[in-house]
Structure 1
Amino acid sequence: MHTDHPHRTAAGPGPDLALDLPVPTRAVFGRGTLDLLGSLAAPLGGHALLVCGRTAMRRHGYLDRAEASLRAAGVAVTVFDGVSADPRSDEADAALAVARAGRCDLVVGLGGGSAIDAAKAVAVAGDHDTVRDLIGTTLPAHAVALPLIAVPTTAGSGSEVTKGAILTDVVRGFKSGIRGDGVAPRVAVVDPDLTARLPVAVAVDSGFDALAHAVEGAVAVRATEESRARSWRALALVRDNLPRLARGESSPEVREAMALAALLGGVNVATVSTCLPHRLQQAMGAVPKVRLSHGRGLALLYPAWLRSAYAHAPEAFDTVADVLGGRDVVHAVAALAGAVGLGGTLADHGFSERDIDACLTGMSGNLDNDPHRRVDAELLRSLYRDSVG
């Protein structure tokens, strides 16, 4: 990974971010980097489809800044601002139609993981009539994609460097990923200042997603020495800064730390993937009455998974606990989650044991990367049941 630091400060995450990391995305990290968007986009295309959510980007002035930067660099801009918090196939299809009508040759995703994932779907749609054709598939290596720039405004998903996009197929009621090397953005513009206006609840939910990527990047079957090193650093950043976010602090130091934790976690997702909690949470998209953010859903699933998985990777889980400062991994993660308001059970949010079968039917993605040596329907059922409480 290539990184640039136009606004590095002494209080920032540190110069070792300049290490090359094994993802194809060029990451431009630092305060104020949103204003570099145009100069980064101009070599990639002449007409950008800018994909974002419905209100926040415009309200906070980020959309205007992004458009101004692009146009100043000679890049035409068409805006699609119809992405919801849980991106849907019909939204991505509508964006795709706009891109084709405008003959856009570049896609920019501006927002949280949802906006970036919708932008990814548009970029890789190719000649398909609908992105639904791609949900739940891995693209072939030769798949053609439009150049994509990701500009995250949350710190958690790491979608700015990952090789997947999670969307809900509204026809099948199926939430899954579009995966493949071609899904990775060409450039990630990681400007920690863009998280300054996040509601505390959104910042905290996103932060738990970064923590989950760090934990899973350390204990997954595909974990490596390098992924674990990234995990330990990301865990320490989340440990020290997520409680500060929960208390309403949003200093440049806290924002940079959480943005870096999310970026490191995203690199782990791209290189060693994730574990069962992500499969379980994504499958909950088959139960539309339960409206949970991805991060909060993970937080509610984690206690049961940690209790069950610990015996299969005790050394790595013990190191997670040590970094978080707890006596064991279950209590360490629960203490942090509770301190930032993410405790509770799935039942607290309307999920019941009657919904488990729908989730099992909607299960997709890689199940063999988890520390559990055997993953079957009974294990998945038990994890849901224990998370209901």
Structure 2
Amino acid sequence: MAPKVDYVHLLWNLMQTLENQQLENALSDAFEDLINLLEVRTGIMWLKNNESKRIYSVISVGDENVSGFNIEFGQGIIGEACESFSPIEVKDVASDKRFPGGKDEVTGLNIKNVLFMPMIFGNQVVGCAEVINRVGKDDFLNNDLSLLHAFAGLSAMVIDERGFKTASETKKKTVMSLRGVKKDYKAGQETINILKGVDLDIYEKELLVILGESGCGKSTLLNIIGGMDSPTEGDIKIDGRDFSHPTEKELIKFRRDDIGFIFQAYNLMPNLTALENIKFIAEICNNPRDSKEALDMVGLSDRANNYPSMMSGGQQQRVSIARAIVKNPRIILADEPTAALDFTTGQEVLQLIESIIKDGLTTVVMVTHNVEIAKMANRVVHMKNGKIASIRLNSWPMHAADLVW
């Protein structure tokens, strides 16, 4: 049963949250509460950008995730909804010609029923809130419509007040795509479901942060992305090529050439110097960088001949980052890279990761429990109970140097 939340209380919480949270966080949390209350599967917030003449999906919560998606003004029913001053409700998508095959022609989502509520501010429609696939009841009640209307209006107001802006361009090449990924483990006679159907696209040269409580499945998801574990069920594509059932040889090559790793525990070889740790990895890769250059990129040229025992934790982690960079990987996976470090050292490590993205070197997928770190991400995935609860597009990431925790 979905949790019942009084809509006045929900809107009050949104206003209070805005005093203490980043705008995207506040809207995402409130929208998630809203779709639970309305008993719908998915919620998407669309914002118009008058300069680019495009409509952007800036927040996506629930079963389907399309954050970062953008379309031209007027395209499809979404474009229609972002021009209308009245709600648009489609109770039976299968009988509506705007949804060929029961799918939204713009996003490709499978939809049974949908409601679009315009977001109006200053006599202008600035976007719309879309709720998809109601499961609890056949129709939205008047109180439901009032709640969604109030949410859309308040969201439009706070977006205007806080200066929320969409990115001018969100089209990025998809490096890896996961659809319906599940992971089960046997525990005696029982089967434990760790991942329960994950859909996720990983884009080129982005920082993607995965948040969630312990046991939610984020580390298992990271292992599957990195080829260190295989899904029980689901499809994986790399650069559009099927990689759902790779051979052992293909997996080894993938981990060796395409994936860089940054671990919480550094995992440096104690009997090798900093430079030798990097060279060891470079020698087994297909297209490595120069090892000295990689060490210089993390500011440790003067520590080239030091063994791990002669370096601080922060310095060891920087060597670990250089070891990941030297591979020229498609994706770098970072598993709680600051968890064992103090604030100052952790911030230095995050600044290095920020520079990787800024210089366009590769994609970084980071798992962390620290919600503050998410503020520097391009996109934030929030996991709950083995599923993706929301994906948030962060149009204006903070600098690592400005983070405080």
State TM-score, norm by structure 2: 0.24
In terms of fraction of residues, the more helix-rich structure is: 1
State TM-score, norm by structure 1: 0.25
In terms of fraction of residues, the more strand-rich structure is: 2
